[in-house]
């Protein structure tokens, strides 16, 4: 059997530009987890390893299916090179009996790693067509540098000519997403670039690298447009009530009695979840008889009067024996954000607050009170591969 291809993701805990950067969420998923998922979706990758000095990052890495190498403090500071983390990871893996053949260096700060392009890079190195390969985007831009005294000097073109785009050969800009190399040669050279170097071109939309808070915000805005929509594979669903089961309005009579409008299709969706033994629980900030009445009608548990939804959700998950990574939480407004930020599948209804939409891994096509609960039920059943013939008796 040939030596395995191992993806190593260096992810230290310290970050000056964006605090706790590797744990920040884009598309509802921590950045380090997004890198793990990109590697796991690539058939050419045999093993995924996260090198970190941080216990929380290590926990997230294991939760998302990666092995962990504990990174020493002396190579986890601001001035430590990525190469030092990679060399250390290879040394630790060798001690564990893993002789790495092809080394894949992934950066968690690139949130949109193209798994198919990564596979192409690995195949290029495996077949020895190139010694090292990296991801890049083509650019036809006219590049300049500032010379002495601030004067502009042309880099990739003649100042006196302005050829059309179609008449020019592109230059290539590293995206920082991935670098692939043979491990043995990397150990000898100590650098990611050596020998015959190749480029794998990736789509420009995937080329964002996060180093500043502004870039994080941009990535969060782009995620719904770039990420493929997934069907949640979860063990339970927890939802807010107002704005999810309802359209977030209430009718109040002159004696103070409240009533809300709900969707019959949502009720059928909950019934289908129950039939598949997937529990649904309602978590509500308010204590209101109408919430209890709807929960009783649906035959689901309800937790009311909750100010700290994240703590309540943790307690519920612990009591149920369900890891937070295996939970979907459906919300619509800012008081749902703490709960959305701790589950594996944060879900937003279509008409949710913009901050909730940015925090979601899945944005539903339906508004609250208008089929959103039925939609998440259908998605969860699809993610759990529940037979389409499942019917209600």
- Walk me through the domains of the chain, giving residue ranges and CATH numbers: 5-140+170-222 (3.90.550.10), 236-383 (3.40.50.1000)
State the Cα–Cα distance between residues 333 and 353, nearest whole angstrom.
5
pLDDT tens by residue, 27-62:
999 999 999 999 999 999 999 999 999 999 999 999
Average pLDDT over residues 146-173: 89
The pLDDT of residue 1 is: 54
Q: What pLDDT is attached to residue 387?
A: 60
Over residues 303-319, the pLDDT tens digits come to 999 999 999 999 999 99
pTM: 0.85
Which residues are CB-neighbours of 221 under 8 A, at least 6 positions away? Answer: 358
Average pLDDT value for residue range 105-122: 97
pLDDT of residue 392: 47
Strands (E), 226-313: 236-239, 251-252, 258-259, 280-283, 301-303
- CA distances from residue 235 to 61, 65, 140, 277 in whole angstroms, order as listed: 20, 17, 48, 9
**First-last CA distance in the chain:** 52
Can you give the length of the chain in residues?
A: 393
As a whole number of angstroms, the distance between CA 59 and CA 123 comes to 31
């Amino acid at each position: 059997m040939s030596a395995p291809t191992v993806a190593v993701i260096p992810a230290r805990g310290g970050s000056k530009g964006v605090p706790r950067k590797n744990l920040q969420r884009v598309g509802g998923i921590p950045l380090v987890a997004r890198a793990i998922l990109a590697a796991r979706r690539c058939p050419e990758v045999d093993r995924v390893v996260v090198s970190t000095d941080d216990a929380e990052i290590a926990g997230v890495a294991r939760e998302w299916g990666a092995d962990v190498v504990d990174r020493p403090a002396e190579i986890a500071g601001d001035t430590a090179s990525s190469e030092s983390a990679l060399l250390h990871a290879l040394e630790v893996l060798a001690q564990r009996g893993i002789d790495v053949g092809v080394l894949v260096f992934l950066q968690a700060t690139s949130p949109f790693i193209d798994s198919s392009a990564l596979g192409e890079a690995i195949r290029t190195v495996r077949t020895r067509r190139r010694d090292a390969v990296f991801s890049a985007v083509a650019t036809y831009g006219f590049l300049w540098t500032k010379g002495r005294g601030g004067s502009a000097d042309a880099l990739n073109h003649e100042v006196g000519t302005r050829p059309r785009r179609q008449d020019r050969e592109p230059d290539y800009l590293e995206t920082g997403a991935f670098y692939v190399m043979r491990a043995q040669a990397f150990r000898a050279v100590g650098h990611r670039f050596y020998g015959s170097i190749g480029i794998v071109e990736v789509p420009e939309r995937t080329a964002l690298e996060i180093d500043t808070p502004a870039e994080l915000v941009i990535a969060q805005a782009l995620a719904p447009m770039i990420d493929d929509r997934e069907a949640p594979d979860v063990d339970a669903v927890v939802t807010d009530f107002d704005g999810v089961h309802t359209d977030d309005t209430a009718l109040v009579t002159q004696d103070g009695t409240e009533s809300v409008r709900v969707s019959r299709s949502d009720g059928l969706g909950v019934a289908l979840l129950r039939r598949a033994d997937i529990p649904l629980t309602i978590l509500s900030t308010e204590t209101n008889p109408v919430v209890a009445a709807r929960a009783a009608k649906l035959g689901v548990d309800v937790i009311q009067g909750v100010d700290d939804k994240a703590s309540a959700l943790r307690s519920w998950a612990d009591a149920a024996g369900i890891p937070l990574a295996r939970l979907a939480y459906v919300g619509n407004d800012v008081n749902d954000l703490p709960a959305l930020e701790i589950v594996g599948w944060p879900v937003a209804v279509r008409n949710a607050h913009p901050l909730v939409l940015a925090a979601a891994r899945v944005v539903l096509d339906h508004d609250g009170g208008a089929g959103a609960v039925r939609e998440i039920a259908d998605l969860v059943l699809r993610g759990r591969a529940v037979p389409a013939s499942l019917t209600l008796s």
